[in-house]
Amino acid sequence: MSEATIDRLVIDTPDDWHLHLRDGAALSAVLPASARQFARAIVMPNLRPPVTTTAQAMAYRERILAARAVTGPGSGFEPLMTLYLTDNTAPQEIVRARQAGVVALKLYPQGATTNSDAGVSDIRRTYRTLEAMQREGLLLLVHGEVTDPQVDLFDREAVFIERHLIALRREFPGLRVVFEHITTREGAQYVLQEDDQNLAATVTPQHLLFNRNAIFQGGLRPHYYCLPVLKGEEHRLALVAAATSGSTRFFLGTDSAPHAAVLKESSMGHAGCYTALTALELYAQVFDEAGALHHLEGFASHHGADFYRLPRNAGRVVLERRAQTVPAAVPFGDTELKPLCGGETLAWTFAGSL
Ligand code: NCD
Ligand code: ZN
């Protein structure tokens, strides 16, 4: 059967392996959308202040569960907690983290992105901690960009691989590493070529759907601005090929990163695309256009769980080929949030869980 004739997809319930849930009123505003589509999510620790200790992660988890209790549908949604790796994260903290159920640590090079000033100044300073993670079975989630001002913004991912990632993985071959939100052909090729069971990558919907022209089409469009920044078309095509190939090394991570619209539409616009509202529909569009709808379930629901060594979800969700218009704005605490593709029509619609 040609995939163009598929108008209903039933897949195992997916997970989001990279999500920013924020805190307080923002958390309450965005949690229901993710809980509706996903069973679990890897929750990013870049709050202000960042979640650097197990105690902070457990307290944050409680706040997420409290917000979840009032969302209604999706109340079984499970937040998977992470810690923010710093130069000073002690190896003993890793043991506490594992005992408490924390699954991963996030490496942000200092200054790379939103709320990353507490990030790592020199990766070698964290080596004793990485050794503990390798031993305890915690994953390392990498924001793979150098912050060297000499390096062009668009080259920062490729340079990170050369300068840091290769050496890090040679030093800790048993450490499971997720190269988060890859954006380049070099990133995709590195993951494919290594063909190592301890290396995988997440890919966002915006990096699969758009190239950097989107940021400048007819004027400056802040809602297409995220980090790592969108790249050229050759890179987008390489990401689509990798994500839709069926390779188990690639899986879904929205990097949905809500910022109040006023903060994005400013002279110093914040980085991040809000995609949680229609996450599965955006990915379905990519896989559909690539003629690879039969690989969507692996990417969205299996590869990530297998890599994290967690059970696959028991439930199923339904997607229908039915047009929907993405809301131009949604409430966000006492302000508003503009989703990616707001006001535009998507071909697929999430039709609930079975
Ligand atoms: C993220 C955010 O806003 O927290 N922004 C983004 O553009 N992706 C930070 C991040 O994940 O880099
Ligand atoms: Zn992120």
Alpha carbons 287 and 299: distance in angstroms, whole number: 10
Burial label, 346 (beta-carbon count in 10 A; 0-12, 13-18, 19+): middle
Q: Which atom of ligand 1 is nearest to the CA of 272?
A: 7
Q: Is the CB of 78 under 6 A from ligand 1?
A: no
The 10s digit of each residue's pLDDT in 51-95 is: 999 999 999 999 999 999 987 666 799 999 999 999 999 999 999
Instruction: Please name which of 190, 178, 182, 109 lies closest in space to residue 141, comparing C-alpha atoms.
Output: 178
Catalytic residue among 117, 255, 288, 334: 255
Domains and CATH numbers, the chain: 15-312 (3.20.20.140)
Per-residue pLDDT 10s for the chain (354 aa) are 578 789 999 999 999 999 999 999 999 999 999 999 999 999 999 999 999 999 999 999 999 999 999 876 667 999 999 999 999 999 999 999 999 999 999 999 998 877 787 899 999 999 999 999 999 999 999 999 999 999 999 999 999 999 999 999 999 999 999 999 999 999 999 999 998 999 999 999 999 999 999 999 999 999 999 999 999 999 999 999 999 999 999 999 999 999 999 999 999 999 999 999 999 999 999 999 999 999 999 999 999 999 999 999 999 999 999 999 999 999 999 999 999 999 999 999 999 999
Asked if residue 100 has its Cβ within 6 Å of ligand 1, the reply is no
* Ligand 2 center–CA 273 separation, angstroms: 10
Q: Where are the beta strands (DSSP E) in the chain?
A: 8-12, 16-19, 40-43, 78-84, 104-107, 139-142, 177-179, 199-203, 250-252, 316-325, 330-332, 335-337, 345-353
CB 67 within 8 A of CB 31: yes
Q: How far is CA 159 from CA 145, 241, 270, in A?
A: 7, 22, 24
Each residue of 33-55: pLDDT tens digit?
A: 999 999 999 999 999 999 999 99
Nearest-atom number in ligand 1 for the CA of 226 is 7
List, edge to edge, every strand of the sheet that includes 345-353: 8-12, 316-325, 345-353
Q: Is 15 tagged catalytic?
A: no
Q: Which of 298, 295, 287 is nearest to 209 (CA)?
A: 287
Distance 142 CA to ligand 1 centre (A): 12
